[in-house]
């Protein structure tokens, strides 16, 4: 029976690129592009399917590596132009007759404060939700807890993780320069006599500004600083609980392709992830 149609490719390629100025200096402004890319090839691949003959089969892992390698030097000013660059590369491979490149860009905006946009801290718009919980018992005692969830933040500088203990199962290297990304869930409980709940905006701003400006030695270190800043922003908040999953951005090893990677090209992973939680009380 004839094979009437075929296509193969790599889907869900997570690419994060940090645009760093050449010869970067302290206080430099970084750019950020966050893409999920699908590469699909159509062509004369019948022998691969029918006969198990892989001579002309471009491995999907090669497609993934190609995306990262071409991203190293391409500025990716526009996702469309990068898609054309990829398509041009793949359509030149043996047996390939048609290339389909699909890309989804995750939007990021700069964290802004009274001092203006931050040069290397970003917030992802659209998914954040605000929460409130009121509990009252028959004695008339009430507890009010406000919060927010899915506040997605990322910073491309002033984040490190080193000095942790090493044993025979430790493979994570020490680093003084990494991408720190998280999705913040915060809940703060007000003093019993509180009637003005307008502090939410001040607490949120304190969380954002501290995340952006803090010289982080770990997610735990930054979480505590954010909790302190949130309580300082509102005298009515008695305590705050923060949960901050570490959304890992792993540096892609481009050495096999003869390329360096000075903290520019990353793969974003969502599982497994570190989950850091703590309560800071006044």
Residue 71: DSSP 8-state: H
How many Å separate Cα 158 from the centre of its chain? 16
71: left (phi over 0), alpha (psi -120 to 50) or beta: alpha
Q: Where are the domains of the chain?
A: 8-105, 110-249+269-281
How many Å separate Cα 279 from the centre of its chain? 24
Mean pLDDT across the chain: 95
Choices 3.60.70.12, 3.30.450.30, 3.30.530.20, 3.30.1130.10: CATH for 8-105: 3.30.1130.10
pLDDT confidence of residue 23: 63
User: Could you tell me if 210 and 222 are in contact, meaning their C-beta atoms sit under 8 angstroms apart?
Assistant: yes
CA 147/CA 138 separation, integer angstroms: 25
For the annotated catalytic residues, the residue numbers are 10, 60, 248
User: Could you tell me if 133 and 150 are in contact, meaning their C-beta atoms sit under 8 angstroms apart?
Assistant: no
Q: Which of the four pLDDT bands, split at 50, 70 and 90, describes residue 140?
A: confident
* pLDDT of 70 above 80: yes
Q: Are strands 237-246 and 8-19 parallel, antiparallel or unpaired?
A: unpaired
Closest C-alpha to 242, from 185, 181, 282: 185
- Count of other CB atoms within 10 angstroms of residue 153: 23
pLDDT confidence of residue 247: 96
Residue 30: DSSP 8-state: P
pLDDT confidence of residue 115: 77
pLDDT confidence of residue 26: 60
Q: Which fold has domain 110-249+269-281?
A: Urate Oxidase (3.10.270)
- Count of other CB atoms within 10 angstroms of residue 263: 17
CA 4/CA 105 separation, integer angstroms: 33
pLDDT confidence of residue 270: 85
**Residue 38: half-sphere exposure toward Cβ, Cα within 13 Å:** 8
- Model pLDDT for residues 214-234, shown as the tens digit of each residue: 999 999 999 999 999 999 999
- Model pLDDT for residues 6-51, shown as the tens digit of each residue: 999 999 999 999 998 876 566 689 999 999 999 999 999 999 999 9
Closest C-alpha to 268, from 181, 161, 171, 146: 181
* pLDDT of 166 above 70: yes
């Amino acid at each position: 029976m004839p094979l009437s149609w075929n296509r193969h490719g790599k889907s869900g390629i997570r690419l994060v690129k940090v645009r760093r100025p050449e010869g970067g200096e302290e206080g430099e402004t970084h750019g950020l592009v966050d893409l999920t890319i699908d590469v699909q090839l159509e062509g004369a691949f019948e022998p691969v399917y029918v006969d198990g003959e892989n001579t002309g089969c471009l491995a999907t892992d090669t497609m993934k590596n190609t995306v990262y390698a071409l991203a190293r030097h391409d500025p990716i000013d526009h996702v469309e132009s990068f898609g054309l660059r990829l398509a041009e590369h793949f359509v030149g491979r043996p047996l390939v007759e048609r290339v389909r490149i699909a890309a989804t860009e995750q939007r990021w905006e700069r964290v802004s404060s009274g001092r203006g946009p931050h040069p290397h801290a970003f917030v992802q718009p659209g998914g954040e939700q605000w929460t409130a919980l009121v509990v009252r018992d028959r004695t008339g005692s009430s507890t009010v807890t406000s919060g927010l969830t899915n506040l997605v933040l990322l910073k491309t500088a002033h984040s490190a993780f080193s000095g942790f203990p090493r044993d025979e199962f430790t493979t994570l290297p020490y680093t003084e320069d990494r991408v720190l990304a998280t999705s913040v869930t915060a809940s703060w409980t007000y003093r019993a006599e509180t009637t003005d709940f307008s502090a939410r905006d001040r607490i949120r701003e304190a969380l954002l500004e501290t995340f952006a400006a803090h010289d982080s030695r770990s997610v735990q270190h930054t979480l505590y600083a954010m909790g302190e800043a949130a309580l300082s922003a509102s005298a009515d908040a008695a305590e705050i609980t923060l949960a901050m999953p570490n959304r890992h951005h792993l540096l892609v090893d481009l050495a096999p392709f003869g390329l360096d990677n000075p903290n520019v090209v990353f793969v974003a992973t969502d599982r497994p992830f570190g989950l850091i939680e703590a309560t800071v009380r006044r």
